[in-house]
Structure 1
Amino acid sequence: MILYVITYVLVVATLTVHEVKAVTWPTISFIQSYEVKGIFIERLELFLLITWILQFFCTHAIYYYFAAEGLTKILKELRVLLSRYAKERQQGEHFGDFCHKCWHC
């Protein structure tokens, strides 16, 4: 989160607000605006893209993990409630029987 804020502040401080709105990828334009001559690799946006892809993957992996954990806990509680309080579909058949057949409670 702090990296996002620092990147945002640097981009808006370097480029104008109008230019940030007009450019499709303002962060890459910000990195391309700096020239460092005499080093082996002159295109520094490659490092930015690698860092951004890793950050994007890690962020979404964490979101996916916690969403799956939360849904697992919610669905366990919901299954118990549905199996106890659901109405019968046919005479003598209960939703709990269906849960037992499907999920092997």
Structure 2
Amino acid sequence: MNYSHRGKFAMDDNNAASACVSSLAGYLRANPLACDTAEGIRRWWLRTEHEVAMNELHDALEWMKRCGAIEEIVAVDGRRRYRRLGDDAQLAALSQPPQARED
């Protein structure tokens, strides 16, 4: 199966969100049972030299949902949590740097 960045799921116009997708995919490959809110993901999963803006994170999460890599769960408290849905091959493709994913 081709898990390309192209087509209806393209993110070429948002390099920061695309880099965020790579980081998230790598994290989920290493931690397949991880599940957290966007705030928790930003704080604990994306420990980088520079801070990721929430809008970039939300763009990345939405894109990954549309691709079937993650799912969003609304808990009883109303908070949205995200967890892995995709297989290792899909996440491996997404964890590549954005330039390496282009056709």
Q: TM-score range by the shorter chain?
A: under 0.3
How high is the TM-score relative to the length of structure 1?
Answer: 0.25
More helix by share: 1
More strand by share: 2
Larger Rg: 1
How high is the TM-score relative to the length of structure 2?
Answer: 0.25
